[in-house]
Amino acid sequence: MTKDADQTVHEESVRVERLLDAQAKAAQLFAEVESRALIVPGKSERAVSDEVRDLAGELFGVNRFWHKRIIRSGPHTLHPYAENPPDRVIEADDIVFADFGPLFKEWEADFGRTFVLGGDPVKHRLCADLPTIFEAGRAAFEADPEMTGERLYAHVVRLARDAGWEFGGAHCGHLVGEFPHEKINGDQQEWYFTPGSAKPLRRSDRAGRRCHWILEIHLVDRERRIGGFHEELLDLR
């Protein structure tokens, strides 16, 4: 191996380590959200979002997020990322999801989890199906060396339908990396898992670095007006 090749391998190893570390810290943040019971009836979504923001600062010194902070409850859980429903007070027996993108020393995490307040069996089933469908989507990616964004999106939509849900978003994942990853790569279709994203996911970005990806699962039941969300790294664990 040449010196340049050895340096490239080392740099990629560091990137992987830092992305996994950022995700581990995001997972710890969400575990603290649950253990401290921050998501409870009577609080507004915005108030919970601010408490999670402050908790990230307390635990990790985080003071920036690379995308908007999301807490959605009840019927707001039907809304995909791009929408901005008005603030809502969380109610008893709600389903709630959180989607946060904290920055850990310029490394992007993107993490989403769902919480069920109360004992509604349909909401609990939806919550349980989210990680199951995530893992099935990851397994499809791992089994297909030529997997593209559009094929993975179609597969995840089928998985959602087969489980009795509708997929709630126009895409099911995207590029992640050093902040801000959009500055180098842009924000075009090719960097999302969505119809028309025809390039293999196993490729390099415009700076010549290996692409790393987030997979996100948004399941909805429009009749019951509920949804759930699960998100983390696809290709690293």
In the chain, what are the domain boundaries?
3-233
* pLDDT the model gives residue 45: 98
Global model pTM greater than 0.85: yes
Both tokens of 46, joined, read 């915005």
- pLDDT of residue 71 exceeding 90: yes
Alpha-carbon distance of 130 to 94, in angstroms, equals 17
Percentage of the chain exceeding pLDDT 90: 81
3-state secondary structure of 20: helix
For residue range 163-188, list pLDDT tens digits in order.
999 999 999 999 998 766 555 555 68
- pLDDT of residue 107 exceeding 90: no
* pLDDT the model gives residue 3: 47
CATH class of 3-233: alpha beta
Mean pLDDT, the chain, integer: 93
Q: pLDDT band at residue 125, thresholds of 50, 70 and 90? A: very high
* pLDDT the model gives residue 101: 87
Both tokens of 15, joined, read 């990137």
Alpha-carbon distance of 41 to 54, in angstroms, equals 19
Q: pLDDT band at residue 237, thresholds of 50, 70 and 90? A: very high
**CA-wise closest residue to 236 among 11, 8, 3, 16:** 16
Percentage of the chain exceeding pLDDT 70: 93
* pLDDT the model gives residue 148: 98
For residue range 208-218, list pLDDT tens digits in order.
999 999 999 99
- pLDDT of residue 134 exceeding 80: yes
Residue 213 in contact with residue 202, Cβ under 8 Å?
no
Alpha-carbon distance of 218 to 169, in angstroms, equals 6
Both tokens of 30, joined, read 């969400």
Q: Which residues of 196-226 are buried (b: 16+ CB within 10 A; e: fewer)?
A: ebeeebeeebeeebebbbbbbbbbbbeeeeb
Residue 49 in contact with residue 99, Cβ under 8 Å?
no
Both tokens of 126, joined, read 């939806």
- pLDDT of residue 108 exceeding 60: yes
3-state secondary structure of 98: strand
Q: pLDDT band at residue 118, thresholds of 50, 70 and 90? A: very high
For residue range 2-51, list pLDDT tens digits in order.
546 567 787 999 999 999 999 999 999 999 999 999 999 999 999 999 99
Q: pLDDT band at residue 72, thresholds of 50, 70 and 90? A: very high
